[in-house]
Each structure stands twice: as structure tokens, then as C-alpha cells.
Amino acid sequence: MSNGQPHYIVFANEKGGTGKSTTAVHVAVALSMQGHTVAVLDLDPRQRTVTRYLENREETCRRRDIALPTPVYAVHDDDNLASLEQRIETLARDADYIVVDTPGRDDRFAKYMATRANTLVTPMNDSFVDFDLIGQVDPESFKVRKLSFYSELIWEARKTRAKSDGVTIDWVLLRNRLQHIEARNMRRVGDALLELSKRVGFRVIPGLSERVVYRELFPSGLTLLDKGQLGELGVSHIAARQELREMVSGLSLPLGLELRAEQGAV
């Protein structure tokens, strides 16, 4: 980066099943495809979803005798902050970006890395079950009644960070599993997110739809960006790739990230 420090992209949500790891892998690979040096830090030593994905990717490269842009990666499996700091320091030496995937539960290391983020990404499914992580709504009017503990935590972290080193954490809410047909629940969730965003200061962007293709790619470690390795593409694959392109663009990352078709990204 221009200031000699990597840009930290932290994917965090205390609820599981929101597409956090899938999104993190695709963003990390997208950045690698643009020629950036990317490191991935996996903070979930039990599930290791991101790590397993990238291990599968490396195995596919060996099996097919091909070269694919792949970030370096590491798992934090110790139980102390000092070892985490040491691992971060090692990854940060040559990295333009550090992508951090956190566990879908209350975790002290995840909270710590959220305070270190430049871009904090919170994927959520389009439902009030997931909305409850960031705010509570009135059951009759669906107006935001109060902030959740998590929103208050990030709000305080952003204020503290701005005062300490002048960095503004860009908090992005990623709406995954949006329905293709406009529904009443979708509108209500959207209205509640808009209302809360004005109070807390996050951005809302569309994420990834519920698509079988993402789950199918895991065993090979391939992503929708690996043009030429996916075989014949159907309409759903092409739509998913465009959706991914728009999501990455919406993150508004530095260094002018663009997914160009001529580079094999889309």
C-alpha cells in the first residue's frame, strides 16, 4: 500500500451460515488475480473453511498441472493475543491486503481484528433473524427499536480508531441470499437496514445469492473467477459471476481493484 501498511479486510459476523468464508475466499482470489500480494488469516481453527478451500485450490493446481493466483494463508490456532500479533506481523511484511475470516460465534480474536480493520465486512442473510445481530425492530412497525451489542461494539471501535490513528473503519453490510422477486420481508429488512445505517454509519451493498455453484466449487478450491477452469458455464454461473463482480466493486477497495474480462476474471 502507499503508506507501507497492508489494507485489512475483516469478514466478521457472530452468526454462522451467512456466506462469510465463501465471500472472503472470492475477494482474496480476486485481489490476487489483480497482481496484489494477498495474505489470508483464518481465525477459526476448528472449522478452517477458508484454509481448506485454499488447500483444495493448491491440490487442484498440482493435479491439473496449472498455476492459479492463490493468496498465502495461515491459521491462528493459539489462545493468546501475543501469538496472533506475531502472526499478523509475519503476514503483513509483504502484503498489500490481509483478508481475515472470523468464526461465526462470539470470539475475542474476531472482536480484536474488527478493531484493526480498514474494511469491515459483515455478511448477513436477508432476514430479521440475522438483522437481530445489529439491531432490534418493533414487531408491529418493523422500525428499529434499539442497537444490538454488536453494533455498539463496532460503533465504539470506530470512534476509538479514529481518535487513536485517524483511520476510519469502513463498515460494509453485505446482503446475501437476496430473493430475485421483490418480497414484503425483503423490503422491510431493507428499510430497517437503511434506518440503522443512518444511525450507525455502515454501508449496505448486495452480496451473493443462494447458489449451488458456490458449494460445488469448494472441493476443487476453484472460484467463479477462474475462467477456463470451470468447464462449460450455464446461465446461473454467468449470473453469479456478474453478481460477484458487482459485490467486489461495491467494497470500494483501494488500489483501483477492477475485475476485467480480458484478465480472465469475468
For the chain, the structural domain boundaries read: 7-132+169-184+201-263
pLDDT at 73: 97
Q: What is the pLDDT of residues 173-212, one digit of tens each?
A: 999 876 654 677 788 999 999 999 999 999 999 888 867 7
pLDDT at 1: 53
Mean per-residue pLDDT of the chain: 88
pLDDT at 2: 45
Q: Which residues of 176-205 are buried (b: 16+ CB within 10 A; e: fewer)?
A: bbbeeeeeeeeebbeebbeebbeebebebb
Strand-pairing partners, residue 11, are 101, 121
Tell whether the model's pLDDT for residue 262 goes beyond 60.
no
Q: What is the pLDDT of residues 98-113, one digit of tens each?
A: 999 999 998 999 999 9
Summarize the confidence of residues 169-174 as an average pLDDT. Answer: 95
Q: Could you tell me the pLDDT band of residue 255, with boundaries at 50, 70 and 90? A: low
Tell whether the model's pLDDT for residue 261 goes beyond 50.
no
CA distance 86 to 235: 45
CATH fit for domain 7-132+169-184+201-263, picks 3.40.1710.10, 3.40.50.300, 3.20.20.140, 3.30.300.30: 3.40.50.300
